[in-house]
């Protein structure tokens, strides 16, 4: 069960990451490499995760970290970490990037924090405690017609063909991308948000945030979110209709 101490510590972890990553944003000596999957990784990604790991090891006995850059400690209670979600933005000087943190116990995420220091924004959620942004509780929209909806995806080119049908129906389609579109969905500003493929560190925090704001997250087949599969989040009212248009596909 999540308690206030877990949430306070999650914010401390976010603070520790922010203190490392924000000074490296737009740094002239930023070092960027290409990982085997052809995605970029910077020295700030690794340093941010290292700062989180050090604080967990120092302050939370028996807990570990499962991070994008440095792997899984193999502990039953773990912090699922994406030190910089939106690395492509980070390395190009676009301020839409953030650290994603989720506390998982017995396979269930009960606490999440998303921190976007270059935007000066932070979101958090606890299971049963609601979703919050900047000190105010947030809720998904009540939009019930696709024709009135705002939809967003990180990469339309990577989406299954059914996404074209969604984009053609909605009031407007955008590419806010990465964590940002899901935070906007939790706030009620976006109604449909999706990615062609996400890993656990990409969605663990945002899935709880969206759920606690009243939304729904699933694979394109309608099942529970799963690593390596498509990820769909909606305000719940539009979920079944979007799933039907996507046709359950995980590839273009």
- 4-127 carries CATH number 3.30.540.10: yes
Higher pLDDT, 195 or 33: 195
The alpha carbon dihedral of 80, 84, 89, 95 has a sign of positive
Candidates 27, 19, 198; CA nearest to 102 is 198
pLDDT of residue 231: 98
pLDDT of residue 215: 98
Q: Do domains 4-127 and 146-246 have the same CATH topology?
A: no
pLDDT of residue 36: 67
Whole-angstrom Cα distance, residue 221 to residue 204?
18
Percentage above 70 pLDDT, the chain: 96
pLDDT of residue 1: 46
Q: Which numeric CATH code is attached to 146-246?
A: 3.40.190.80
pLDDT tens track for 205-215: 999 999 999 99
pLDDT tens track for 34-91: 766 657 778 888 999 999 999 999 999 999 999 988 888 888 899 999 999 999 999 8
What pTM did the predictor assign?
A: 0.93
Encode 80-99: b = buried (16+ Cβ within 10 Å), e = exposed: bbbbbbbbebbbeeebbbbb
Instruction: Judge whether 176 and 184 are in contact, CB under 8 Å.
Output: yes
pLDDT tens track for 213-249: 999 999 999 999 999 999 999 999 999 999 999 987 6
Write down the domain spans for the chain.
Answer: 4-127, 146-246
Percentage above 90 pLDDT, the chain: 81
Average pLDDT, rounded, for the chain = 93
Higher pLDDT, 247 or 181: 181
Q: Are strands 63-67 and 77-85 parallel, antiparallel or unpaired?
A: parallel
């Amino acid at each position: 069960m999540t308690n206030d101490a877990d949430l306070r510590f999650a914010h401390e972890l976010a603070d520790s990451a922010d203190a490392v990553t924000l000074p490296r944003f737009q740094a002239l000596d930023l070092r960027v490499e290409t990982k085997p999957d052809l995605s970029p990784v910077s020295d700030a990604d690794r340093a941010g995760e290292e700062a989180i790991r050090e604080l967990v090891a120092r302050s939370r006995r028996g807990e570990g970290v499962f991070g994008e850059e440095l792997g899984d400690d193999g502990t039953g209670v773990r912090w699922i970490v994406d030190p910089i979600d939106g690395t492509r933005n980070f390395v190009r000087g676009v301020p839409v990037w953030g650290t994603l943190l989720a506390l998982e116990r017995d396979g269930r995420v009960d606490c999440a924090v998303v921190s976007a220091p270059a935007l000066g924004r932070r979101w958090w959620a606890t299971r049963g405690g609601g979703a919050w942004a900047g000190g105010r509780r947030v809720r998904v929209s009540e939009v019930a017609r696709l024709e009135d909806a705002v939809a967003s995806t990180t990469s339309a080119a990577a989406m299954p063909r059914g996404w074209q049908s969604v984009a053609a129906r909605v009031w407007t389609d955008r590419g806010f991308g990465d964590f940002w579109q899901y935070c906007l969905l939790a706030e009620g500003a976006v109604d449909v948000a999706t990615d062609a493929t996400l890993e656990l560190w990409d969605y663990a925090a945002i899935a709880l945030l969206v759920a606690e704001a009243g939304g729904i997250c699933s694979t394109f087949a309608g099942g529970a979110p799963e690593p390596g599969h498509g990820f769909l989040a909606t305000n719940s009212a539009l979920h079944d209709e979007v799933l039907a248009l996507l046709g359950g596909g995980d590839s273009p």
